[in-house]
């Protein structure tokens, strides 16, 4: 894959999109991944190496990893919540790893059974495992803007976590609007502070759409300097440890937003609509995407 993109979208439907769903078969996940690859997306978060008791939908992470070699032109990654998860990912052949550190102690205890400080301290061990396999580590700061338990997250707290995670070995960083309540003004403020605090470090953003401001927040992040954004086919997704959180921003809607504005994503919108249809079929229910509903209505 060649060419410089204005916006680099990572597709997260196979992981974030499916993690709160009833478990679907590995074959169904392969069908979804194939549809996503057909869109032209360059990066796909394929699975998560986490406790199968806590997240049953990700219990087949190793089996999914075995399928990925059939798509050699795509950069696949996996999410982990512990050093053990990182070791499992690397053993399965996935060396692009995302490690989550929550800015909220309450959420961190619910999500990873450890405090924010304890989770952050493990970044170095995760980084050593990933780097030892020749891979790259991204640290995602969850609850970067808001927490359902603790309220608004101070900008200084999120920025401090980003800087410390980079010092401990993160190659790139990501701001997670885990419960989908961020708004453009606050997005711009946090991204601006983050860019100043960790200059030159690749910075992404991950938005959910609980309050309907996900796309506007993604645009604000781009305007503030972010070039790496996450999205999920059909708008699937949500955090099992964050009450009230809804799905991610829909990939097809994000692609439409940027391509219609003259900014390249390298992703085919028609193929995105097909992938959203596949996502809906795989989970067996309607998906949140408004663009998909509009296309269906026209046809």
Give the residue numbers marked as catalytic. Answer: 239
Phi, psi of 43, rounded to the nearest 5 degrees? -130, 135
Q: Comparing C-alpha atoms, which of 77, 111, 114 is closest to residue 93?
A: 77
Residue 106, C-beta contacts closer than 8 angstroms, at least 6 positions apart: 147, 149, 150
> Maximum CA pair distance of the chain?
53
Distance CA 62, CA 88 (A): 8
Determine contact, residues 57/19, Cβ cutoff 8 Å: yes
Cα 89 to Cα 29, 47, 77, 82, 221, distances in angstroms: 17, 9, 9, 11, 30
The CB density around residue 4, as the number of other CB atoms within 10 Å, is: 7
Query: Across-strand partners of 247?
Result: none
Structure-block tokens of residue 100: 């989550």
Residue 20, C-beta contacts closer than 8 angstroms, at least 6 positions apart: 57, 237, 238, 239, 240
């Amino acid at each position: 894959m060649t060419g410089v993109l204005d916006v680099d979208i990572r597709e997260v439907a196979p992981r974030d999109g499916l993690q709160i769903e009833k478990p679907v078969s590995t074959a169904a996940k392969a069908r979804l991944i194939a549809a996503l690859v057909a869109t032209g997306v360059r990066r796909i978060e394929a699975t998560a190496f986490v406790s199968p008791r806590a997240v049953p939908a990700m219990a087949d992470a190793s089996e999914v990893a075995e399928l990925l070699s059939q798509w050699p032109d795509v950069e696949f990654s996996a999410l982990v919540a512990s050093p053990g998860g990182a070791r499992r990912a690397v053993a399965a052949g996935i060396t692009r790893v995302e490690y989550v550190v929550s800015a909220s102690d309450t959420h961190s205890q619910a999500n990873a059974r450890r405090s924010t400080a304890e989770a952050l301290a493990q970044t170095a061990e995760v980084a050593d495992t990933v780097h030892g396999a020749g891979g790259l580590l991204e640290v995602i700061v969850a609850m970067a803007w808001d927490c359902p338990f603790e309220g608004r997250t101070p900008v200084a707290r999120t920025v401090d976590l980003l800087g410390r995670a980079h010092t401990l070995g993160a190659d790139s960083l990501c701001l997670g609007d885990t419960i989908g309540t961020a708004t453009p003004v606050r997005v711009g403020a946090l991204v601006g502070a983050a860019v100043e605090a960790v200059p030159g470090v690749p910075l992404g953003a991950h938005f959910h759409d609980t309050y309907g401001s996900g796309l506007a927040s993604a645009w604000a992040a781009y305007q503030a300097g972010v070039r790496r954004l996450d999205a999920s086919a059909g708008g699937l997704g949500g955090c099992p440890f964050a009450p009230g959180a809804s799905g991610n921003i829909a990939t097809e809607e994000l692609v439409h937003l940027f391509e219609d504005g003259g900014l390249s994503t390298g992703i085919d919108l028609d193929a995105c609509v097909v992938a959203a249809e596949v996502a809906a079929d795989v989970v067996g229910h309607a998906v949140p995407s408004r663009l998909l509903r509009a296309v269906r209505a026209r046809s």
